[in-house]
Structure 1
Amino acid sequence: MGTTRMVYIVTMLFSLIVLILSSSTVGYDYFQFTQQYQPAACNSNPTPCKDPPDKLFTVHGLWPSNMNRSELFNCSSSNVTYAKIQNIRTQLEMIWPNVFNRKNHLGFWNREWNKHGACGYPTIRNDLHYFQTVIKMYITQKQNVSDILSKAKIEPDGNIRTQKEIVDAIRKGIHGKEPNLKCQKNTQMTELVEVTLCSDGNLKQFIDCPHHFPNGSRHNCPTNHILY
């Protein structure tokens, strides 16, 4: 075998090893930071919420995701305890409540960590860092959708909005990038249920959310007549 061919084979093998190692440790392209509007989330849930919802967007989850739509799920089976998050528990209960059952916040947080958060390594180092990161994004970095809409004079007053109004308001709060909206029709009215903000794989800057609900999807938001 000639020297040139040997060098070529070694180079290809090295590239393949690097690709395998990088894909096993990263495995995602960007993050979705999804927040749910509590009243609409309760209206969309088959089981009624156990407690009255607040007129707020609160955290649903921070999800590492792929551009090709392949999903990352269930990367851990560890249990987060109240003892481990005692210093941030109050903040989490405020910004990341279990809207459907406020007596089981911890169960909700554990599901989000094990199903999604643990898949975000190395940007997300561990479970505590996952929750600290979400607090930072929602509070310190002002990625609170309720506040973003409020600054654009869009309040949760039960008025009818257009998709453009909502999207333009959110774009102003996230450096002109495109969010993703989730709606659902309830009792003949389409409600804004969730808003997703997207960031790069290092959580350093906003990006346009690459995927939206297609036309015909029950979660696609109409051009007009969105209740918020």
Structure 2
Amino acid sequence: MGITGMVYMVTMVFSLIVLILSSSTVGFDYFQFTQQYQPAACNSNPTPCNDPPDKLFTVHGLWPSNKVGGDPEYCKTRNHRKRAKKLEPQLEIIWPNVLDRTNHTGFWSRQWTKHGTCGYPTIQNENDYFETVIKMYITEKQNVSRILSNAKIEPDGISRALVDIQNAIRNGTNDKIPKLKCQKKNRVTELVEITLCSDKNRAHFIDCPNPFLPGSPYLCPTNNIQY
């Protein structure tokens, strides 16, 4: 084999190694911690909820995300420690399957498989994923219902200004901008989700990137948001 052939072979092997390494390492920029207001989530869902929803924001998911481009999904797992059964009583309270309360475990498994697997190395394994969410919601007090209540905003079903909701959340997250999702049904615009964002190490809150743009069906208006 001549020098040209050897150079070609070395280049090909190096490229293959880079490809293998990159395929098993998925990058992300930040975390979205999204919570859904149960009554609005039920109202906006095509299939009605089987059970009466609670007037609470509960966890929808913790999602590794990117500021530019698509968010990672269905990543390779490195540590196969499964979710501990002892966590489930707490998860049923803070992270219920609002649309089907007979299948909490299926909901949790989908969230882990689709999103949680991509949180490495901040999220080490499946058990760590769910322990982290419990810590965020309870110990770190990233409970959106509590944050709003501290600002005297209760789920009274009245119309509210966008700026009042945003300011209440900012007061509870070191003045960082949340991401709000609304949806209109029967001429009523409801607050469906609130997302808190943190850096990729989950060390600091950040302003949520990628808000819903004008024209999106999920964009919240400046006024008349029901909560």
On whether the aligned pair clears a TM of 0.5, the verdict is yes
Partner of 2:28: 28
Q: Distance in 2 between matches of 1:76 and 1:21?
A: 12
Shift of 1:152: 0.2
CA deviation digits over 1:38-64, x for unaligned, max 9? 000000000000100000000000000
How many Å separate the matches in 1 of 2:76 and 2:39?
A: 31
Instruction: Confirm whether residue 145 of structure 1 aligns to residue 162 of structure 2.
Output: no
Structure 1 residues 159 and 168: CA distance shift in structure 2, 3 A: same
Partner in structure 2 of residue 189 of structure 1:
188
Matched residue, 1:75: 75
Following the alignment from structure 2 to structure 1, what is the Cα–Cα distance between the partners of residues 67 and 115? 16
Match of 1:9 in 2: none
Question: Are the equivalent residues in 2 in contact too, given 1:25–1:122 (CA < 8 A)?
Answer: no
2:4 — aligned with what?
Answer: none
Between the two proteins, what is the percent identity of the paired residues? 66
Q: Could you tell me how far apart the structure 2 residues matched to 1:225 and 1:156 are?
A: 14
CA distance in 1, matches of 2:110, 2:150: 32
How far is 1:124 from its partner? 0.4
User: For residues 67 and 21 of structure 2, what CA distance do their matches in structure 1 show?
Assistant: 19
Q: Normalising to structure 1: TM-score of the pair?
A: 0.87
Residue-pair matches, total: 211
Structure 1 portions without partners, runs of 5+: 1-13
Q: Which residue of 2 aligns with 1:173?
A: 172
- Rounded to whole Å, the distance in 1 between the matches of 2:222 and 2:198 is 25
Structure 2: runs of 5 or more not aligned: 1-13
**Contact 1:38/1:53 (<8 A) preserved:** yes
- 1:62 alignment partner AA: L
Match of 1:61 in 2: 61
Q: State the match for 1:95 in structure 2.
A: 94
Change (3 A) 1:118 1:31: same
Note if contact 2:26-2:75 (Cα within 8 Å) is conserved in structure 1. no
Q: CA deviation at 1:87?
A: 1.2
* Aligned residue in 1 for 2:199: 200
